[in-house]
Structure formats: structure tokens, C-alpha cells
Amino acid sequence: MATYKEAGVDIDAGTEAVSRIKKHVRSTFNANVLTDLGGFGGCFQFPQDKYKEPVLVSSSDGVGTKLKLAFITNQHDTIGQCLVNHCTNDILAVGARPLFFLDYFAAGKLDVDIFEEVVSGLAKACKENDCALIGGETAEMPDFYKPGDYDISGTIVGVVEKDEMMPNRGINKGDLLMGLPSTGLHTNGYSLARKVLLEHYDSDDFVDSLGKTMGEALLAIHKSYLPAIDGILHENWLVGISHITGGGIVDNTRRILNDNQDLEIDWECWDRPAIFSLIQELGHVPEDDMRHSMNLGIGMILIVKPEGLSPLQTHLASQGEPYIQIGSII
């Protein structure tokens, strides 16, 4: 006789996991959440009285091979934060603010402690982005993942007024590219970064040029830009937002341009964080490869009409958010 547990799926562990994460998940709830954790679906009452012509905006993503650093360092809370912030930035590029989030977590064998740590990070970032974590899926899949490995992805749903969607406001030649600094690699370029850096350093090695251990540098949390620019999403002089992920500055920003437009970028006008220089030097990585696989220290680009430069500078200064004018639309 064979049991489900003997086959590799521990239902009791799954029940304990749900019990352990409830406090974290519930901490993200607001008045619009109508269901508790554990139901067949998460229900969210849309706050329609706040909008005239609301448009729902959704995005799904993961954190790529940054997960490998979590496995190596046994630090799992930051991965959840990276995932939520990444998804938040994606819908922010359309002008949307988050409403709710759902996650997917899969492992060969469910480690309840690790799972709770991941979810605590999800919940922390959801609260910071005013987003409810209303559900998800936890899958135990024996023989599918290596022992200790897991995968995680998430889906976010947000809302924007139809007449405030971007880049519908019109991007024109002469508009300015304002770069907001990243905290590091964010969640892209890790396959290359790991191949280069972990051949020379262990994750707990302190690296003088980074001012921290290699593991700390590589696990730096993907920054959410919602707090910095939430107050200007309605401004007509803000005509486009580009979230710099895989593909780098050029490929991501070209996604929101017209066919007859391009970017003029001054690649020397900002100091790249040391982590990027280290990758390029140790790996002898061509400049073109660096530009097309990593953010190089710029995590988000705001496309602004020239008359919006002064009010943008005033706003970002009030938020304590640094910025760099890196180029323009041509």
C-alpha cells in the first residue's frame, strides 16, 4: 500500500504552511478584501466610487535565477519583496497603482520555514505598495525540483484612469529621459552575474569595492518606484515610464516609442554602481552585452516634456529620490 505522503506530498505540511502564513497575509488586507485565506478564490471589491473610467492593469512575473542566491545564502524574505516590487513597477509603467497580488510557490518538498519566510517578504512589500495579498497557489511537486530548490512567481492587478494611461499622452522628439537609480541588478542579469562573480567569490566574502558581502550585493531588493512617483502620475508632462528589466535601458524604453522615434543616451553621465563594473571586468563582458542584459544602475526612466523638468525635480527632491537626466527622444 502506498500513501500520498510516501509519494512525496505532505498534506499536513501544507496545512501547517497555510496556518503559519495567515498572519502575514492578513496584515495586507484592507476594507476591499472580502475573503480570508484558504478559499477557492480571493475576492476583492473594486472601489468604483474613486474612478470615472477605470482600467484594470495586470502583470505576471518571477525573479529569475536570483532565486539561486536565496538558496546559496539561505535568505528567503527578500525574494518575496523583489517579486512584488518588480510587478508593481511593471504596471506603474502604464500609470497604474496596485490593488491586489497573488503568488505561486512550487517546491519538490515543502519546507514550511522557508515558505513562511518567502511569504513574509511578499506581505511586507504588499503593505509598502498598498496592495492586498489575497491568495495564491502552493504546489508540492516531488521529483520536479532539486532538494532545497523552489520557484516563485506572482500576478498583480492594478487600476488606472483611462485618460491617464501611459504612454497614451504622446511622446515627442525632444522629450527628456530622466533616470531613477536602481539598488543593484534588481531581478535581471543574474545568470551572467552568477557565472562571473561566483567563480571569484563566495557569497559570504566581503568585497571592498561593494562595501558589503557578495551575497548582500546580489540579493539587494528590487526597488519599487511607486512611493517616489505616485504623486505625479496624473501630470500631463509625464508622458512615459519605462521599467528597466531584461533588455536593458534601450530595449525596454523602445517598447513605448513610436516607430519613427529613438533614444539619444549619454552613457557616461552617471556612475555605474560597482557591481556592474565588477561583472564587466572579471568576466570581460562586452559593453554591448552589458547594455542589453542589465540596468547599469538605472531602474526606471521617466519620459518628461521639457516644461515638466522643473516640477519633476521639485517633486523628486521632496521625496528624497535622486535622478539623472540621461538623454532625450530623437
CATH superfamily membership of 11-164: PurM-like, N-terminal domain (3.30.1330.10)
Interstrand relation of 150-161 and 54-62 (parallel, antiparallel or unpaired): antiparallel
Q: Could you tell me how many residues make up the chain?
A: 330
Q: Give the number of C-alpha atoms closer than 13 A to the C-alpha of residue 153, restricted to the C-beta side.
A: 8
Q: Where are the domains of the chain?
A: 11-164, 176-329
Closest residue by Cα to residue 99 from 160, 21, 166: 160
Per-residue pLDDT at 4: 76
> What is the DSSP secondary-structure string of 46-63?
--GGG-SSEEEEEEEEE-
Phi-psi region of 296 (alpha: psi -120 to 50; beta: other; left: phi over 0): left
Residue 277 pLDDT: 95
Query: What's the pLDDT score for residue 101?
Result: 98
Q: SS3 breakdown of the chain: % helix, strand, coil, rounded to 5?
A: 35, 25, 40
Question: Average pLDDT of each block of 10 consecutive residues along the chain (330 residues)?
Answer: 73 82 94 91 92 96 95 95 98 97 94 95 97 93 90 97 87 96 95 94 95 96 97 94 94 92 95 96 95 95 96 96 96
Whether 176-329 and 11-164 are alike in CATH topology: the answer is no
pLDDT the model gives residue 243: 97
CB 7 within 8 A of CB 142: yes
Identify how many contiguous H helices and E strands the chain contains and give both numbers: 11, 11
Contact 298, 270 (CB under 8 A): yes
Query: β-strand 238-243 against 298-304: which pairing, if any?
Result: antiparallel
180 burial level (CB within 10 Å; 0-12, 13-18, 19+): buried
Q: Look-up: residue for cell 512575473? A: 61
For residue 103, give Cα distances in angstroms to 42, 151, 194, 195, 319: 12, 11, 25, 28, 30
At residue 271, the pLDDT reads 94
User: Quick one: fold of 176-329?
Assistant: Phosphoribosyl-aminoimidazole Synthetase; Chain A, domain 2 (3.90.650)
Give dist(CA 269, CA 289) in Å, integer: 19
CA distance 301 to 225: 10
